[in-house]
Amino acid sequence: MTGRVTVAAVQTRPVIGEVDVNLAAIAEAVTQAAERGATLVVLPELCTTGYVFASREEAAALAEEIPSGPSTRFLTGLSARLGVHLVAGIAEREGDLLYNSAVLLGPDGHLGTYRKVHLWDNENTIFEPGNLGLPVFDTAFGRLGMLICYDAWFPEAFQALALQGVDAVCLPTNWVPIPGQQPGKPAMALSLCQAAAHVNSIHVIAADRVGTEREQPFIGQSIIVGPTGWPLTEPAGSQDPETVLATADLTDGRRLRRWNTHNDPLANRRPEVYAPYGDRP
């Protein structure tokens, strides 16, 4: 492991359907992050296409195969040119099937793909649920996992990655206002990221988007959280594109996971107690 690295959550404002425009904005923002020392850069959910598709047909026209599609190849080249690892949300096509996906790219190419498991609202009419499980990928600076947006509302997803030894979860997201959210107050999503980081002793790098797309507002507040659950950065704002950066040793959670002589939340799990309750039918 290489020790401390600088990670960036890049908050963008995609334009629906304008892939070339979005890729140009991404390239500028990622280049600036790399110039500030970033080694791992996380981008929002569906950052190349926009999010609010009018129909499955519109999404299909913008989706691409991974890793051979044009957006993925562009981002792979960007990663290689800048010498960074990059996580980005992509609309993926596999045959007639569509997935809300995220790719992990490194200077040497495509390292892996994650397909969103928990679909939000109208995504259920456009995408298939992810079928690649919750993979973990080894890098020179730690073990990385990926989740996407609504996945963060499921503690089991973070825990499943932690039980596989993940050091950091990269979370491309498109957070929207939720009931009870007060203007000017931190989003509930920030609390979820902090809780997941804390109870699993992992880093969480959440990159959100901003702007309003087809009357749907997005709330920004991208954040990087350390393995104690405390943010390593102030959250980004809620209105404008912005990049937040933090320098950390992503493997610190392996040491910090043991809170004292007796307590390690992953080791202290009692699956035999939980098992009788099962899942709801």
Chain-centroid distance of CA 181 in Å reads 22
Catalytic residues: 45, 116, 149
Beta-carbon neighbour count of residue 28 at 10 Å? 13
Structure-token pair, residue 181: 């959210």
- Residue 262: CB atoms within 10 A of its CB come to 8
Query: Which tokens belong to 251?
Result: 């493997």
Q: Cα(74)–Cα(65) distance, rounded to whole angstroms?
A: 13
Burial of 48 (0-12, 13-18, 19+ CB in 10 A): buried
Query: What is the spatial distance between Cα 272 and Cα 255, in angstroms, rounded to a whole number?
Result: 26
The Cα angle at residue 111 between residues 106 and 116, in degrees rounded to 5: 115
User: CB within 8 A of 195, min separation 6: which ones?
Assistant: 155, 229
Among candidate residues 19, 31, 28, 23, the one with its CA nearest the CA of residue 59: 19
From the list 162, 152, 159, the residue with the least C-alpha distance to 221 is 152
